[in-house]
Structure formats: C-alpha cells, structure tokens
Amino acid sequence: MDWEGMYRKGEAFWDRGGPSLPLQQYLERNPVRGRALVPGCGRGHELQLAVAHGLDATGLDIAPTAVAEARALYPQLAERFVAGSLFDPPKEMHGAFDVVLEHTCMSGLHPTLRADYRRGIDLTLRRGGLLVGVWYIDPDLDPGEEGPPFPFGVPDLTALFAEGYEIVEDYVPDVAFEGREGRERVRVLRRVA
C-alpha cells in the first residue's frame, strides 16, 4: 500500500474526521493511564482522544504526510506525532508503553504483514500492558475488492494473539461510524509473556 501517496493525493478515505466512537466509549468507561502508543495514527484523532483522557500518548505513522497533517490539525500535540514504522520502531519506543491503542492500523495491513504487526506490538508494549483494540471485523467489500480494510475475522484476531496475551474484555460495541455498525469488535488484551 502506498500510504504516503494516498495522503498526498487526499485519498485517505478511511479518515472520518474524528476519533473512533467505540474507543471513545471505552476510554470514558475505563480509567486507562500511563504511556500510550497509537500505531498507524493517521491524522491523529485517536491520539488527541487519548491525551484528552489523561494518557501520555505518542502517535506513530509510516506516512510523513499523515504526520504533517496530524501536527497541523492538532498543533498543541505536534511533538507527540512521530514518522516511522511499527515494524521497526525507534529504540526509545522499545518496551516503553503501558497501553497500545489500535484503530484501523491492523486492518489496513495486507494479511502477509500481520506477523510484523504482532511483532511491532511485542516490541513496544511492556509486559503487563494493555492492547486496547477496536478491531475492524470482516469489512463490507465489493465483489472482487481485496482491501484495505482486509478481510479479518474474530478467529484471526484470536489466533494472532493466542500466545503471550490474555483477553480482558471482548464485545461488539453499540456505537460506530456509519457503515461500520456491527463490523467492529472491542477486544482488550493484556500482555502476559
């Protein structure tokens, strides 16, 4: 995927102009604290949400233009946005986070990159930390359309974190962006190994 090219051409169709509603609901209901990483943060809406809920958050995105747009949109948080890859995170991010907030980063990755995603989470999330995910489950694709978002089922999610993580919460949220109703799953995982 040419993420940088899509941002440059103004083709970031996934961006809904505000933060994930299920993530917002989760953070309103659960006092999550500490250092948080938002991988694939895009234009930064979830980063802004995390900071508003008391988290010391950092956003990481592989597309420099996404980072530039996030900084322009949230100038007071500009230094929190970092350009780089979750697959090879800067050394200072290794084991540095109490929480990872996932929203449409994993589902945007080709299935062949899922092991790299898991490795990126393992590299950045400390043992005992929480992976709070709004996982996009089985997106509505037109015939012949491959993705992103790529087809991804609950069994795939379970398999991806079968070892080293335990499920803390798991539900289908009752709030969603239009078109994503019933297609997302909030699953919170704790890193245990």
Ligand X SMILES: C[S@@+](CC[C@H](N)C(=O)[O-])C[C@H]1O[C@@H](n2cnc3c(N)ncnc32)[C@H](O)[C@@H]1O
Instruction: Quote the least distance from Cβ 59 to ligand X, whole Å.
Output: 9
Q: List the one residue from 64, 87, 138, 177 that touches ligand X (CB under 6 A).
A: 87
Dihedral of the CA atoms 31, 15, 180, 170 (nearest 10)?
-30
Judged by CB under 6 A, the stretch of 61-69, 90-98, 124-132, 176-184 that binds ligand X is 61-69
Residue 119 is a binding residue for ligand X (CB under 6 A) = no
Instruction: Quote the least distance from Cβ 192 to ligand X, whole Å.
Output: 24
Residue 30 DSSP one-character state: S
Q: List the one residue from 22, 129, 133, 148 that touches ligand X (CB under 6 A).
A: 148
Instruction: Quote the least distance from Cβ 27 to ligand X, whole Å.
Output: 15
185 by Cβ neighbours in 10 Å (0-12 / 13-18 / 19+) ranks as: buried
Helix (H, G, I), strand (E, B) or coil at 164: coil
Binders of ligand X: how many residues, by CB under 6 A?
20
- DSSP assignment of 32-100: --SEEEEET-TTSHHHHHHHHTT-EEEEEES-HHHHHHHHHHSGGGGGGEEE--TTS--GGGTT-EEEE
d(CA 7, CA 24): 24
Q: List the one residue from 23, 36, 37, 62 that touches ligand X (CB under 6 A).
A: 62
Instruction: Quote the least distance from Cβ 121 to ligand X, whole Å.
Output: 11
d(CA 147, CA 138): 11
Question: Which residues, numbered 1-60, are part of the site for ligand X (CB under 6 A)?
Answer: 3, 14-15, 39-42, 60
Instruction: Give the residues lining the site for ligand X (CB under 6 A).
Output: 3, 14-15, 39-42, 60-63, 66, 85-87, 103-105, 108, 148
